[in-house]
Chains A and B, each alone.
Chain A
């Protein structure tokens, strides 16, 4: 999670640097105490185990709303170290010491968990929510393993380009509507002494951002196929995406590759950086840096490079999961039946300040609201994020390869070959595990 702690987890709004100290110190401590999390809660309460302190307050708010809807209170439990969180989850899942509910990732990470047989099938809850219009049907795939749903969406962040409308106006720019507009805007910003684009390898995981954004705009179908192991990294289309990025480097459009998101948010608000690609969850960081949504912070969906392709946007959504062996299992399942309720979702998403997977809940943040309207209105193709796509250990390795590319853009062919070698190996293992 950017900012809050030194881990590779990119899911939630970052907290200022000061929190890093606390988090880093806490991380060491939690490693030692991590084993004793699941004791079970008294009747009427269910604990939701997560890895982000920033999600505690939203979870508590949702818990209070759930109390009035279903007579059940959700209690957040946080292990702020990504590593120990994952270890606790994976090692306890088969025991009755496991937490009742989890906040987890969607996509292949959720599948990885589902195939252990340790988490509950929530297909019924999902179908009921869709029938009532409480859930966006197109998100189903991100929470599915072998046709069954194993997680309910918690938040819905879109991957967009943040920009500063005041800076854009000063240089006579509008949010780009076409790929050409986007290139022209970057060019004009550069000529006017503003670094046009933020790119970074800081914290490891952000290395995938630019590859994901460019590839999904040049060929969303190919992106989807590649991420699901149906295409190869050595394909000319993957090469084209990296060549495009290399040309941005040639034009010197990027910030230094070690500028983290917190610093970049401040630089955007202060007009030093022109455009900042990130999930909408960065909104809270931008606000903390003095940004005012709609005034000096706004966001647009990067236009399609190929106008003939189906317009797409990348999304990110965390999964609410119920475990099979948790001590308060019955109450956990009851909670999942009420999770998508508009009152619960509203309390959660408004406290979080991000987008909501329930279309009936309006966004609290006007920028996010406008984006949601555009995405739903234009029926954009929702593509899951790079981080959630493909076997987790492949992603863990390919982000490092992409970091290598960002630091040495001319190495793109070699990088793609390495990535494909890893992909061959990882998909083989993944599919073997699938069969057993």
Chain B
């Protein structure tokens, strides 16, 4: 909607800027001026009248898209919000007001789950993003750097389910990691990685990192390639190199990409599910559940549909609020931030 309005405003501005007959009295004639020159797109030029109909003219074209989003996103969302005020076991439902939400506050599983979710967000920002940046910078313009990047990107091409099976082989008590540690004499480092909190969540984050770093490397590598050569050369002439080059030239130039990477990382970590589900099922004793898993278990395993909806709503609010707050602050000069 906002995009549409802005388009209109811009259209107005071009109309005003169009060289109109100098004598045209602004108050007498409509300001609409027929254009002769295709201003924006060739498509417009073939239409004799620039504006067919009013602002609603676009509606029929947008309708299928609106319908899709409405049926598949907006309606289910509001239906869940509505459902979260009921105690519902899938067969019968009873209005209970905000009971489901007050229950959340007392539920130790929800508390743990929220904490795990925050650990996932922090961990995902710390590991895959930082690591992705480091690897991209380190392999940039390196000999065989492209190949090195390829190798790191590969896990990204594997499905999360397969990744989980692989990491299960690594992380069980008699798994590859512990066997390796015992093999090199670090017996005391061997852990029950998946059985105890918080190390199970940490181990899962590491497993997630293995998979998620690749795409960040690709994005940062693209960002590095579009840094203008002359900027770098100018900095070199000024004597910048190493850390100073990275800190004052590379990093600021990567800002646009960083916004995308961090934004994606936040959202992905908030919806982390498949890896956890297959590796630990959120267990043992529900200790590695994130909000997404808690919601799934309550709504679809225990058929506490109302309670599950309440958790889903909390999760949605967190996802939307954090991405919006982040993008609003960070989106580089598009005018969006000054809304």
Contacts and interface: CB of A to CB of B under 8 A. Distances in A.
A6 B165 CA distance: 10
A313 B283 CA distance: 29
Interface in B196-223: 196
Interface stretch (A201-209, A298-306, A356-364): A201-209
B284 A207 contact: yes
Interface stretch (A16-24, A66-74, A322-330): A16-24
Interface string A24-61: 11001000000000000000000000000000000000
Contact of A24 (B161, B192, B300): B161
A87 interface: yes
Given A91-B90, A258-B173, A403 B161 contact: no
Interface string B19-46: 0000000000000000000000000000
Interface in B145-168: 159, 161-162, 164-165
A407 B196 contact: yes
Contacts, number: 76
Given A207-B284, A257-B284, A396 B277 contact: no
A201 B195 contact: yes
A210 to B, nearest CB: 14
B285 A403 contact: yes
B165 A258 contact: no
Contact of A401 (B195, B285, B302): B285
B90 A400 contact: no
A90 B174 contact: no
B301 A396 contact: yes
B161 A204 contact: no
A404 B197 CA distance: 11
Contacts of A256: 172-174, 192, 195
A181 interface: no
A250 interface: no
Interface in A171-186: none
Interface string A251-264: 00000111110010
B286 interface: yes
Given A201-B284, A400-B283, A6 B277 contact: yes
B278 interface: yes
A201 B300 contact: no
B303 A204 contact: no
A8 interface: yes
B174 to A, nearest CB: 6
Interface of A: 6, 8, 17, 20-21, 24-25, 28, 83, 87, 90-91, 116, 201-204, 207, 256-260, 263, 393, 396-397, 400-401, 403-404, 406-407
Given A256-B173, A256-B192, 20 more contacts: A6-B277, A8-B281, A8-B301, A21-B161, A24-B278, A91-B90, A116-B91, A201-B285, A202-B172, A204-B283, A204-B284, A207-B284, A257-B195, A258-B173, A258-B192, A396-B301, A400-B286, A404-B284, A407-B195, A407-B285
Interface of B: 90-91, 159, 161-162, 164-165, 172-174, 192, 194-196, 277-278, 281, 283-286, 300-304
8 contacts: A6-B277, A21-B161, A87-B300, A204-B281, A258-B192, A258-B195, A263-B174, A407-B196
